[in-house]
Amino acid sequence: MIGVVYLGNNPKTQERLKYIPGQLVRMTNAYKDAAQVCTPHVSNEHFIVFFERNVRSEDITAITYLRKKCRNVYIILLTDDMSEEERNIYIKCGVNDTINKDASVTVLNKKILFISDRENILFDDEAPKYRILKFKIPVWKRLFDIIFSGLAIIILSPIFILTAIAIRLESKGPILFKSKRVGTNYTIFDFLKFRSMYIDAEERLKDLSKEHNQYADKDEEDEHKTITAPLGDQAEQDMLDMGMESEMMISDEEVMLIGDDFVVAESDFNKQKDEDINNAFVKIENDPRITKVGRFIRKYSIDELPQLFNILKGDMSVVGNRPLPLYEAEKLTADTSIDRFMAPAGLTGLWQVEERGKGGNMSAEERKQLDITYGQTYNFMLDMKIIFRTLFAFVQKENV
């Protein structure tokens, strides 16, 4: 049972909260009054507090007081843009989540429903006062994973043996390839696959051009690339004296960022930063690092079979969001991407059956949104549909 409380004095926010369907939002403008409202009358009564951001010092006092008096609250800060420093300060004093202060009734209601559906995870009456949102796999899903993976390992054991022999005969190196992957709750684990590449594949990756990356933006022109140049003390001064007008051809109005050993236009720096985030996923077309056996087992997804042991162990599920390599996951830590990790990590998922079986390319943003959608809507019937569609999509028409 969850109640909703508003703490603030913004008439526009109060008006929107009045129209939350099926919710009677209690309005307060003093933190002591809010704490009194959030005092539970029964043991399993919890509250969502929408806290309107105001003066930081006063906010910290109010949030700290709420946390001290009420362990059964989930505090959402209504705010506009904040610096990273401000965000960390609010989190340390007890804020659980943030949302734009001008969010619509629909967005506010979705947030309430999202928290209500995960009440048993977010509100642990025996937990410390500072809670971290953490996904827990449902019992039905874990039982299905154990039964499915156990039976699959037994039935497919001949394929395991034949594949291992083929890999060993073609090239030197281990039969299984282990890589660190990031799954549910950003948990890092050893991800198992049949080795499909030569043993120096990791070293070859940096030599591959950007044109091979399916998820990279191939429409970028050379003139948009980040401009950097090494600087010495005299060189830096000369460039400043000339207004950056000679070799770099940058307008006088352009803001320049100067580091210890480079100079770069601010617009180019921001563009490169956005590109790095947008191209977090790396997928190489016609990858020359793959062996002949590797191409076959990849085409029929045989290389994925050792992940059944990951599923049996509990590192991942049969259906979920694909666990990512560390270098990809570290680029998906922004607020807009975190939800994909608050869901099961899986062997197959929505993005595989939506595009992979069609032989079409998918952008990183499309893939991320499908992952988030699955995390918000997964259920037993959806998992069964994805497994069924995977049977028809596992033969890849693309050479990746």
Rounded to an integer, what distance in angstroms lies between the CA atom of residue 48 and that of residue 6? 8
| Percent of the chain whose pLDDT exceeds 70 | 70
Taking Cα atoms as reference points, which of 378, 375, 322 lies closest to residue 140? 378
> What is the three-state SS of 277-292?
HHCCCCCECCCCCECH
Give yes or no for residue 238 having a pLDDT over 70: no
Which residue type does 206 have?
K
Q: Residue 150: what are its φ and ψ, rounded to 5°?
A: -60, -50
Contacts (Cβ under 8 Å, ≥6 apart) of 275: 217, 220
Task: Evaluate whether 37 touches 26 at the Cβ level (below 8 Å).
Answer: yes
CA angle 83, 85, 91 (to 5 degrees): 105
The residue to which tokens 């950007």 are assigned: 210
Give yes or no for residue 214 having a pLDDT over 70: no
Taking Cα atoms as reference points, which of 57, 49, 54 lies closest to residue 73? 49
If you compute the radius of gyration of the chain from its CA atoms, what whole number of angstroms results?
A: 26
Highest mean pLDDT among 74-78, 131-135, 220-224: 74-78
pLDDT, average across residues 205-227: 49
The residue to which tokens 């843009």 are assigned: 81
- Residue 192, token pair as written in the block: 């198992």
Burial (CB count within 10 angstroms: exposed 0-12, middle 13-18, buried 19+), residue 104:
exposed
Rounded to an integer, what distance in angstroms lies between the CA atom of residue 134 and that of residue 122? 8
Rounded to an integer, what distance in angstroms lies between the CA atom of residue 262 and that of residue 231? 6
Which residue type does 182 have?
V
What is the SS3 assignment for 132? coil
Taking Cα atoms as reference points, which of 107, 102, 111, 101 lies closest to residue 133? 111
pTM given for the model: 0.49
pLDDT digits (tens, 9 = 90+) for 363-375: 777 888 888 888 8
- Residue 45, token pair as written in the block: 């009564």
> Which residue has better confidence, 327 or 398?
327
Question: In Å, how far from its chain's centre is CA 42?
Answer: 36
The DSSP 8-state label assigned to residue 186 in this structure reads: G
The residue to which tokens 């390839």 are assigned: 177
Tell me the average pLDDT of the chain: 77
For residue 90, CA distances in Å to 57, 94, 270 come to 10, 7, 26
pLDDT digits (tens, 9 = 90+) for 151-186: 999 999 999 999 999 999 988 889 998 889 988 888
Q: Residue 318: what are its φ and ψ, rounded to 5°?
A: -65, -45
